A and B are shown apart, each in its own frame.
Chain A
Amino acid sequence: MTDKKTDNSSALNRRNFLKLGAAGAALGAIAIPAKAKETITKKIDEKTAGNFIKTHDEFPHEIRDDYKPHSNQDIMFTAGFWGFHPEDVDVANSGKQFGYKTFMHYEEKKGFDQLSKALNAGGWALHNNVSPLASQAISGSGILKWDQYRKKEGEFLPHHDWVNEHQYEFENKQEATNAIKRAAKLYGADLVGITKRDKRWDYSDFVDPQAIMEGRPEDSVYGWERFPFEPKSVIVVAFEMDYEAIATAPTDVQGAGAGAEYSSMTKTVYQMAVFLKQLGYQAVPCGNDTGLSIPYAIAAGLGEGSRMGNLITYKYGPRVRLAKIYTDFEFVEYDKPIEFGAMEFCKNCMRCADACPNGAITFDKEPSFEPTHENKDRSWYNAKGVKKYYMDARKCFYTWGEFGTDCGSCMASCPYNKPDFWHHRLVDKITAAMPGPVHDFMREMDQLFGYGEVGNLEKIDKFYDPKGRSYNGH
């Protein structure tokens, strides 16, 4: 671990937190203008959050010298759907099962019936139509193409997807980063961070399914030489998934919650790429492809790693989807990794490991440099050499095949997954300030208070209940 230092100016977007207790309640009662009240609560919030969020100058996980960038061929989807690692028949079978069951509905099975499947299909629709393979870690799919077109004289291209000859000059780094982040939010991102391109997190190679389908296996793997420019920065964006949808895990309603954000992220990263291109810089929009989203998101200060392997953000917990934009624009103020106690909490919590239907998540107390799970000897899918919790993606993928949708029980069970209510944020902050032994107690309390239960089909009724969405936790 690197040295920690407190940075009160953390760029995280925090919600009005201190509406509570005597001070907040009194503020609520006093007839001061809403705007002033908002400013006061924001100031108090920044003060308190600053004390709990630490920043790191370096990547916050230890990395062994023999760490190698991960190959696109070693991503579970690439292997499961496109035949890499043919020796692992069970992985191919999981892929087949998943593909088959995705389109089947079972009327007797709540959460997998026609209504749920239709909801799921609608959620994924935009993504599946315009960038069908990005969710499976395939680069350059559909509108997420690598193309950096230069417009010819007089050519009419109303989509503006071409690199402007004239490069816009920002006054300073802060202005550049402000503009980029503002644009990302305008286009639909919930969180944005900017980090330097780091070859450790890029895929070492790429898979071309077209070549496989056309019977040209020799062309099915290619390298960075095809990438159109030397990337300098990576903009990482996170999208909040619907709380009620994710709470129904593992069902197709949960899958719809994930799919809806896959569609959103495809739209946003494409718009971001066009924005950067029109500023005169080159840009490639990506989903799960081209590089590992989670370490990039950690590096860009969006959140912490976790036992389940997902990113845990300060604002939405693990309930986010991630996407990124590679660009040759480097004139930006880079974000720093943050820490607010999630990885520490994971040491004692283990609720995701309890909730996982197939035991894919480790119960190890401490993170390790190597996988420790049952299938560790054939775990080509784990990027080894980073000190973290290693999950058994083989077992996870098997479960996805069983359900025909992307399970998500780990995410739904996590104590950091809460709707945006003041009392949850208070508990998060208290948790961050407390030492390890208290975390055990906090975990028990979270369960006692009735949070994070998975496999409860009543949650589907709650998802559809019009009253269920009428609250406002802000």
Chain B
Amino acid sequence: MIFTGIETLFYLLGIITTLFVMGLLKYNKELKFNALSWALLGTGSFLCIFCIAWSVSSVLEGVPRAASMGLVIFGIPSLLFLLLGRKVALKKK
């Protein structure tokens, strides 16, 4: 293996982060987020990226339970933040 699992993970996380940032900027142009939607969407995006990082790391470590707990603890709040942020942003429009 040239790249270890963790190296590949962080490379992909970089790409995912860039996509999230580009997505947020794109929709901000369209919807003009207010402070609340920025806060909700920002937190949601961070949690989502963190959730991927945590869970994949736990799988690589061989502790699947920590991976699934990661999905619950970080993934669900992340989805809630993102959905709520989207709702606030759309309502404003």
Q: How far is the CA of A26 from the CA of B21 in the complex (A)?
A: 10
Contact of B66 among A22, A24, A449 (CB under 8 A): A449
Residues of A within 8 A of B6 (CB): 421-422, 471-474
- Specify which of A27, A423, A462 lies most central, judged by the most chain B CB atoms within 10 Å of its CB: A423
CB pair B5 A22 closer than 8 Å: no
Residues of B within 8 A of A451 (CB): 63, 66
Q: A417-460 toward B: CB 8 Å interface, digit per residue (1/0)? A: 00101110000000000000000000001001111000000000
- Given A448-B69, A472-B7, A25-B49 contact (CB < 8 Å): yes
CB pair B11 A28 closer than 8 Å: yes
CB pair B17 A26 closer than 8 Å: yes
Residues of A within 8 A of B53 (CB): 20, 25, 423
Residues of A within 8 A of B80 (CB): none
Residues of A within 8 A of B21 (CB): 22
* Shortest Cβ distance from B70 into A: residue: A449
Residues of A within 8 A of B16 (CB): 25
Residues of A within 8 A of B13 (CB): 24-25, 28-29
Residues of A within 8 A of B66 (CB): 449-451
CB pair B69 A449 closer than 8 Å: yes
Asked whether any CB of chain B lies closer than 8 Å to the CB of A158, the reply is no
CB pair B4 A449 closer than 8 Å: no
Say how far A244's CB is from chain B's closest CB, in angstroms: 9
Instruction: State which of B33-41, B54-62, B82-90 sits at the interface with chain A.
Output: B54-62
Say how far B21's CB is from chain A's closest CB, in angstroms: 8
Say how far A12's CB is from chain B's closest CB, in angstroms: 22
Contact of A21 among B46, B60, B62 (CB under 8 A): B46
Q: How far is the CA of A110 from the CA of B18 in the complex (A)?
A: 49
Residues of B within 8 A of A21 (CB): 46, 49-50
CB pair A421 B57 closer than 8 Å: yes
Residues of A within 8 A of B57 (CB): 421-423, 473
Say how far B84's CB is from chain A's closest CB, in angstroms: 20
Residues of B within 8 A of A448 (CB): 69
CB pair A25 B14 closer than 8 Å: yes
Asked whether any CB of chain A lies closer than 8 Å to the CB of B25, the reply is no
**Chain B residues with a Cβ closer than 8 Å to the other chain, count:** 31
CB pair A472 B17 closer than 8 Å: no
Q: A20-42 toward B: CB 8 Å interface, digit per residue (1/0)? A: 11101111111000000000000
Residues of B within 8 A of A423 (CB): 53-54, 57-58
CB pair A24 B18 closer than 8 Å: no
CB pair A419 B61 closer than 8 Å: yes
Q: How far is the CA of A451 from the CA of B63 in the complex (A)?
A: 8
* Shortest Cβ distance from A26 into B: residue: B17
Q: How far is the CA of A471 from the CA of B58 in the complex (A)?
A: 11
Asked whether any CB of chain B lies closer than 8 Å to the CB of A215, the reply is no
What size tier do the contact residues of chain A reach?
Answer: 20 to 34
Q: How far is the CA of A168 from the CA of B69 in the complex (A)?
A: 57
- Specify which of A19, A27, A445 lies most central, judged by the most chain B CB atoms within 10 Å of its CB: A19
Q: How far is the CA of A28 from the CA of B18 in the complex (A)?
A: 11
Residues of B within 8 A of A419 (CB): 61
* Shortest Cβ distance from B59 into A: residue: A471
Say how far A345's CB is from chain B's closest CB, in angstroms: 19
- Given A26-B17, A423-B54, A449-B69, A19-B4 contact (CB < 8 Å): no
- Given A28-B13, A473-B6, A22-B61 contact (CB < 8 Å): no
CB pair A470 B63 closer than 8 Å: no
Asked whether any CB of chain B lies closer than 8 Å to the CB of A154, the reply is no
- Given A26-B18, A28-B11, A471-B69 contact (CB < 8 Å): no
Q: A305-321 toward B: CB 8 Å interface, digit per residue (1/0)? A: 00000000000000000
Asked whether any CB of chain A lies closer than 8 Å to the CB of B65, the reply is yes
Residues of A within 8 A of B27 (CB): none
Residues of A within 8 A of B10 (CB): 19, 24-25, 28
Say how far B22's CB is from chain A's closest CB, in angstroms: 12
CB pair B15 A29 closer than 8 Å: yes
Residues of A within 8 A of B17 (CB): 22, 25-26, 29
- Given A21-B49, A25-B13, A25-B14, A450-B4 contact (CB < 8 Å): no
Q: How far is the CA of A21 from the CA of B49 in the complex (A)?
A: 7
The 4 closest A-B pairs by CB, nearest first: A29-B14, A450-B65, A472-B4, A25-B13
Offer 13 A-B interface pairs, CB within 8 angstroms, sorted by A: A19-B10, A20-B50, A21-B49, A24-B10, A26-B14, A28-B14, A421-B60, A422-B57, A423-B57, A449-B66, A450-B65, A472-B4, A473-B60
